[in-house]
Each structure stands twice: as structure tokens, then as C-alpha cells.
Structure 1
Amino acid sequence: MLEKVHATASTPTSNPHTRPADRKLTKDEINSLPIRRWEGPVHLVREDHQIIQAVEKLEHETVLGFDTETKPVFKKGVTHRPSLMQLAAEDAVYLFQLHHLKQFSPLQGLLEDPRVLKVGVGIAQDMEQLQAIFSFSPVHCHDLGALARAIGMDSHGLRTLAARFFQFRISKRAQCSNWETPILKPFQVSYAATDAWISREIFLAMQREGLCDPEKMRFSI
């Protein structure tokens, strides 16, 4: 069974009439905004049989928010592979603890599925880093940051895009925590789930405002 660690849904709304102009918000402006986080169901996937259960649910989605987390590097010349992959569906977020898993073929199928759109900021780099763990060729993946730049927006990062579209900020406190820990702490679970969730919501907000030009969003590896 998948391990569920949260149980209350949360959905943001974008109001273009109260949204700030398409300029880059200052750090002080962003810090003055209220914090929001994903408060819905989060499923931890740390065993191979759980991958199949998760993918069986995710493959029916049309849009998935995507992100990864990697153990921070404090030494020159040292690199780490991603420790966590997050996929946000409409009503739940799935966290895959990659260093616990060995059978990646279901994930390969999902990431190569042309029917399921994967969206995130810096997604090309994340996908490339995942390819060091298991082999796949990403299909139907769009980079929100690349789209923002292409349409002339000054906000490119996840935090600034969240502030631009929803007038709230997401916490980055857990970004430099140890993502290879066997048991993720509650604040790590919340942080990781929020990043994937807000990626999906930003895409949907862009779509509602007619900002999504598929040709400007694509990338290839």
C-alpha cells in the first residue's frame, strides 16, 4: 500500500485583476506575501511495488507537476544524483525516494508517455540528472521558466512565478536539507510536495490566461 502522510486538499486561485504587473517582484515584495503550501494527500513511494500503484494512478492524469530534490553539495567537485522525484496530480502528490528504489520501468513508461504532460521549472536539467539513475527518453515535457522568458516575463523561478500568479510565496527553507535521509521529515515532505503542486498550478494559470504556446515550452535532450 502507498503511504499517505497528509489528507486535506488545497487549491489556489489566480486573479489577473489584482495580480502585480509582469515585472520581477523584489525580494522584499515576495517576503511580504503570505506563505502557502500543499495541504492535500502526499504519498511516499520507497518500495518497488509501490511504484506500480503510483503509476497506475498517475498515468490517467493529463498534467503532472514535476520536480526533483538533490542532497546539497558543500565540497568543490562533489556531485549527487537526485534523491527525490515529485509528481503532482490533480488531487495528490507522489514523492519517489529514488535511492530506495531499484525497478524503474513503470516510471520510464510514465516519463515517456505522450498523453501525460509533465511541467516544471528547469525540467530539462532535472530530466537529464534522472537519466544518470535510469534510462528513459522524456516525452511531452514543458519548462515553465522557458515559457516565462519567451513571453517576456521577468519572473522565471518557481517562487517568483507563484508570487506573480497567486500573490503568495512558497517556502524554500528545506531546499538545502538532506534529501538522502531514509525517513523524510514533515517539513521536507511539505516542501517537496508544494514545489510539484505549484508547478502544476502555475501551468494551469498560464493556460487560463492564454499564455501557453506549446512550441515555446518544449525542450529536448
Structure 2
Amino acid sequence: MKKTNTFQPKIGNEETAALPAIEYQGEIRVIEREEEISEACAYLASHPVIGFDTETRPSFRQGVTFRVSLLQLSTPERCYLFRLNRIPLAAPLLELLGNAKVRKVGADVAGDLRSLRQLRHFRDGGFVDLQAIAPDWGIEEKSLRKLSAIVLGKRVSKAQRLSNWEAAQLTDKQLLYAATDAWVCTEIYDKLQQTPRTGKK
């Protein structure tokens, strides 16, 4: 039975900060060797819906930018973190990113795809942008943090966002942050799909 839509259009920073945190509870696998890519993509392609996100090393100097460092693709049970500063955007990944049968859910998908295309051009398929569909439920917020707060009633930490994603070894906090960012997109999406639309079409 579908639930009634009680989502608020907006939420303040203080109200968001007061919510309980949400963290990924599944297995996290870091992929930093090219020979590991195919098996990871085969697993992900067997799922109808996966979470999608990227991370880029922050630049604190004007005019200096870095290429995308990490691609996160997640199911509820397992999240793969592809270290694109160490491995190529190889054919199995391109096939998965273009597979329209596998729904890849993210926030600001266009921005992430633009970053990935700086590494290699590819055709995308099957992407769902939470920012684009949230207005159908009357939600006006765009950030993943605010979308999670409104839809799930949970707070996504942004503490690791500006950390070094090209570090020799990613910390446990970075791994958990990256996995949570991808996975929570599917949680938001699932909750929206179980709720009647009441906003603009």
C-alpha cells in the first residue's frame, strides 16, 4: 500500500543537523587494479537499481582543478569504489554506465557524468537524477543532504567531502562517506517510489 505524501518542500540547516545520521551498512570493496573491474561490473549489472556518485580531490587554489578520483556504485549489500586516479575507465565500466536496463540513481548526475567524460567519452543510459524527479513529490531542495533529510528523516554527513580522494590509502571514514553517498540515493529513490506524487508533473 502506498503511503501518503507528507514530504516538506524545504528544510533548514539546523533542522537537518539535528537528525540522526545515516550510514552504509553493507560491504565496501575498493577497486584499484584493472583486473578487478570486470567481476565488480558483472555483480552490479545483475541488480536493477544501483546508487551512483563520484568524488574529486578538492582544489584550494584558484585555477587548479583535478580529474575525478573515485566512482562509487552501490547495491544495498555491496558498494564498489573504483579508484579512477589509479585504474582506467575501462570497457566493463563504460558498458555498465551505458546499460539502460540497470537504473543508476544519483544527485546532480549531469555533473558527475561531465567529470567522468573528462577521462573518456561514453554513452550513458539508465540514469535517474534525484534533483530532477524530487519536484514531482513537491520537494524543492536539491542537495543530497537535504533530500535525505526530507525523504528519509536522516542526516548524511559531509565531513569527508573536502578530503584528499587521491591519497595513497583512503581512510575508513572516507570509504564509509563515499559508499553512503552512493547507496543513500537508492534509499531516497525507493522511498519516493512508494509514495504518491503530489507535486508538479
TM-score by length of 2: 0.92
Task: Give yes or no for the alignment of 1:177 onto 2:166.
Answer: no
Aligned to 2:151: 165
Q: Which amino acid aligns with 1:61?
A: H
Residues of 2 paired with 1:81 and 1:102: CA distance?
Answer: 12
Task: Give yes or no for the alignment of 1:66 onto 2:52.
Answer: yes
Aligned to 1:3: none
Pick 1 or 2: higher relative contact order, CA cutoff 8 A, min separation 6: 2
Task: Give yes or no for the alignment of 1:54 onto 2:40.
Answer: yes
Task: Give yes or no for the alignment of 1:40 onto 2:21.
Answer: no
Q: Do the aligned residues in 1 keep the contact of 2:26 with 2:76 (CA within 8 Å)?
A: no
After TM superposition, where is structure 1 displaced by more than 2 Å over at least 4 residues in a row?
A: 149-152, 210-213
2:85 match: secondary structure: helix
Unaligned runs of 5+ in 1: 1-14, 217-221
Q: Which amino acid aligns with 2:159?
A: R
Q: Which amino acid aligns with 1:183?
A: Q
Aligned-residue offset at 1:53: 1.1
Aligned to 1:139: 125
Aligned-residue offset at 1:150: 5.0
Aligned-residue offset at 1:24: 1.1
Q: Do the aligned residues in 2 keep the contact of 1:42 with 1:94 (CA within 8 Å)?
A: yes
Q: Which moved more, 1:204-213 or 1:99-108?
A: 204-213
Matches within 5 A, 1:54-203: 54-102=40-88, 104-149=90-135, 151-203=137-189
Q: Do the aligned residues in 2 keep the contact of 1:206 with 1:212 (CA within 8 Å)?
A: no
Aligned-residue offset at 1:162: 0.8
> Taking structure 1 as reference, are residues 204 and 21 closer, same or farther at Cα in structure 2, changes over 3 Å only?
closer
Q: Do the aligned residues in 1 keep the contact of 2:136 with 2:198 (CA within 8 Å)?
A: no
Aligned-residue offset at 1:92: 0.9
Unaligned runs of 5+ in 2: none
TM-score by length of 1: 0.84
Q: Which moved more, 1:166-175 or 1:148-157?
A: 148-157
Deviations 1:89-108 (A, max 9, x none): 13111100001103611000
Deviations 1:15-44 (A, max 9, x none): 967x96422111110111111210210111
Deviations 1:54-108 (A, max 9, x none): 0110111101110000011111111111100000113111100001103611000
Q: Do the aligned residues in 2 keep the contact of 1:65 with 1:120 (CA within 8 Å)?
A: yes
Deviations 1:173-216 (A, max 9, x none): 00000001121100000100000010111111111114499xx7
Q: Do the aligned residues in 2 keep the contact of 1:104 with 1:134 (CA within 8 Å)?
A: no
Q: Which amino acid aligns with 1:66?
A: F
Residues of 1 paired with 2:174 and 2:137: CA distance?
Answer: 33
CA RMSD of aligned residues (A): 2.1
Task: Give yes or no for the alignment of 1:27 onto 2:8.
Answer: no
Q: Which moved more, 1:155-164 or 1:141-150?
A: 141-150
